[in-house]
Amino acid sequence: MSRILSIAEWESLEILPIPKLVSENEKGTVYTILKVGVLFAKNATDYKEKEHKEYLYLPTITVGPGVNQCAFRLPLSLSAWAFDQVALTHSGDIAFPAEVEFGVLNDRVYAEYIL
């Protein structure tokens, strides 16, 4: 997957399927993450008004494995998580691929590494 360079390209991506969980006893979906990215969007008017911010980081994720790689957009609520993953990757503190569980519990989207 090539880099996402515009808001239109980001919007054209499918949203990563994330299951809504009823209780903490349920598990989310585990994906093999190959890459996490963010698009700095100062002109994302529709999203900025919704989030009450001057600019946004629009999060993307590439899942695998192998030739079955596919890019998705993440919910805006995971923007900070995605930004942190990019920073940690650049600093060498984490590396991909990695197994990450995604779910929605109590109306909150989460992403947790499977260690």
Q: Which of 87, 86, 83, 58 is nearest to 73 (CA)?
A: 58
pLDDT of residue 33: 95
pLDDT along the chain (115 residues), means of 10: 77 94 95 93 59 75 84 94 95 93 96 93
Q: Distance (Å, rounded) from C-alpha 32 to C-alpha 50?
A: 30
pLDDT of residue 17: 95
Q: Are 33 and 114 in contact (CB under 8 A)?
A: no
pTM (2 decimals)? 0.84
Measured at the CA of 91, the angle between CA 8 and CA 34, to 5 degrees, comes to 50
H-helix or E-strand spanning residue 80: helix 79-91
